[in-house]
Copies of this chain bind each other. A is one copy, B any other.
Amino acid sequence: MHAPITIRDVARLAEVHPGTVSRALNPQTRSLVNSDTAARVLAAADELGYRPNSMARGLKTSRSFTVGVLVPDLTNPLFPPIVRGIDDRLTLDGYTPLLVNTDSDPERERASIETMLARQVDGFIAATARLDVEPLDEAIARGLPVVLVNRTFEDGSISACTVDDQRGSQLAVQHILGLGHTRIGYVAGPQNVSTGHRRYLGFVAAMEAAGIEIAPGDVSFAAAFRELAGAQACAELLRCDPGLTAIVTANDRLAIGCYDTLAQLGLRCPQDISVIGFNDMLFIDRLRPPLSSVRVPQREIGYAAADLLLDQLTDGSAGPREVLLEPSLVVRGSTAAPSLRDAAAGPGA
């Protein structure tokens, strides 16, 4: 438990002034110093095991090389890959993420942002679903760059990185149509989060593009991205139109809920009804049947978001940008051609 080694210890050993040590140790300013001296300093620093105190550096430069990362709940399987991607990218440039779970609670959110501001974070990445940016207003006012993940801000004044949700819905619909389905239901997510809304819009657009009319009862809105809400929405769908042969969903967990309802009604998937999810969650291929889904490159989204932020951090003039990543279709056992069931019996009964 020896005393911490400072820049002055290194200076003493290398027989130079502390200021020179600072210059020699910083790659940015190393060119300002004689390479021999620099080498000597490096050697001395190495010998002593010197490690710059980043709080002192931060105090002086008013940059902390930390980034606030807001997620609703790390326990939601959606977020770990995103956070991992963020971490991977930030680490490359010497930044450290400060992770916070907000539980989508405005008060907790406010408090967290407060704390991070006090910690002098250099920017924020908000992987939260809620639509308002207000809690981040002060950060923005202070000139701190902010990047949104999984959502966008309407006027485009804030950088954002998301998957192309509409395109994802289109992939799902086209897959289902390609199998020959025409009686298609949709379990939508909550419309007050952008993901839910845009996936819904994508579904509508894709159906229209195919010239298929969406009957009033063919869409049911789940109150949350949860299994139970999905099960309820699915039940409602089938009550309105028992003749559906396929259900497109806005999220894998909603699709799991659909499985529950189908099982309860004695309907088989995919023989009686096809189901397709969205996100391609870990282990979703282990369900019975394995769920077809729209894959979202979560880790890449996090990585790209961090990339966006670093851009703005490094190059002050870099304006806000939006990055849209491509989803892809993963076909598994939950989708098949329609009417393996008795087509002649028809719907209605």
Contacts and interface: CB of A to CB of B under 8 A. Distances in A.
Nearest to A50: B118
A84 B62 CA distance: 30
A98 B2 CA distance: 24
A73 interface: yes
Contacts of A81: 75
A114 B46 CA distance: 13
B101 A98 contact: no
A309 to B, nearest CB: 17
B97 A54 contact: no
Contact of A96 (B73, B98, B282): B98
Contacts of A281: 283
Interface in A71-91: 73-75, 77, 79-81, 83-84, 87-88, 91
Contact of A286 (B1, B74, B256): B256
Nearest to A64: B55
Contacts of A53: 59, 118, 120
Contacts of A100: 87, 91
B143 A119 contact: no
A54 B97 CA distance: 16
A54 to B, nearest CB: 5
Nearest to A69: B99
A31 interface: no
Contacts of A345: none
Given A87-B100, A99-B97, A287-B287, A55 B256 contact: no
B59 A56 contact: yes
Nearest to A281: B283
Contact of A80 (B1, B74, B256, B288): B74
Contacts of A142: 1-2, 4
Contacts of A83: 74, 99
Contacts of A58: 55
Contacts of A120: 53-55
A38 to B, nearest CB: 20
Contacts of A91: 100
Given A75-B81, A80-B74, A99-B99, A118 B87 contact: no
A87 B2 CA distance: 30
A79 B100 CA distance: 15
Given A51-B114, A56-B59, A256-B283, 7 more contacts: A4-B62, A51-B117, A55-B119, A59-B59, A74-B83, A77-B283, A87-B100
Which 3 residue pairs are nearest across A and B when measured between Cβ atoms? A288-B288, A1-B143, A55-B58
20 contacts: A1-B141, A4-B142, A53-B59, A53-B118, A54-B118, A54-B119, A55-B58, A55-B59, A59-B59, A75-B84, A75-B282, A77-B80, A77-B282, A80-B80, A84-B101, A98-B98, A281-B283, A283-B283, A287-B287, A288-B288
